[in-house]
Amino acid sequence: MSEKYVPLSKLTSPRVRFDNVIPHHVDERRVGINQRAVERLCRLGGIRHLRVTTTSGEMSNFTPTIVGHNEQGEAYAGGKGTRTIVPIYTAHTDQSPHASHRSAANWIDATIQMNGNEIARKIRDDTSLPDGVRSPQGWSRYLNKALKEGIAMIGINHLINGTTPVEVVGLAFVTSATEVLNLLINHTITTGDAIAGIIAGNFAMKINDIVSYRGERTNFSDDEGYRLSFFYGPQVDRAIALGILASTTRLAKALPKQQS
DSSP string, 115-180: EHHHHHHHHHH-TT-TTGGG-HHHHHHHHHHHHHHHHHHHHHHHHHHT--HHHHHHHHHHHHHHHH
Cα torsion for 165, 166, 169, 175, to the nearest 10°? -130
pLDDT at 179: 61
Question: Where is average pLDDT lowest: 31-40, 134-143, 147-156, 219-228?
Answer: 219-228
pLDDT at 215: 45
SS3 assignment, position 21: coil
CB-CB contact of 8 with 31 (8 Å)? yes
Question: Helix axis angle, 136-161 relative to 35-44, nearest 10°?
Answer: 20
Task: Note the pLDDT tens digit of each residue in 193-203.
Answer: 556 666 666 66
Q: What is the DSSP letter of 190?
A: -
Closest CA relative to residue 3, chosen from 258, 252, 238: 252
Q: What is the C-alpha separation between 138 and 26, in angstroms, rounded?
A: 10
Q: What is the mean pLDDT of residues 106-116?
A: 93
**In which band, very low, low, confident or very high, does the pLDDT at 1 lie, cut at 50, 70 and 90?**
very low
**In which band, very low, low, confident or very high, does the pLDDT at 163 lie, cut at 50, 70 and 90?**
confident
Q: What is the C-alpha separation between 260 and 166, in angstroms, rounded?
A: 60
Q: What is the C-alpha separation between 199 and 196, in angstroms, rounded?
A: 5
Q: Is 219 a residue whose pLDDT tops 70?
A: no
The three-point CA angle 225-149-165 to 5° equals 45
Q: Is 127 a residue whose pLDDT tops 90?
A: no
* Phi, psi for residue 78 in degrees, rounded to 5: -95, -170
CB-CB contact of 193 with 182 (8 Å)? yes
The larger pLDDT score, comparing residue 140 to residue 181, is at 140
Q: What is the DSSP string of 33-95?
A: E-HHHHHHHHHHTTEEEEEEEEE-----EEEEEEEEE-TTS-EEEEEEEEEE---SEEEEESS
Percent of the chain at pLDDT exceeding 90:
43
Tell me the pTM.
0.78
pLDDT at 258: 72
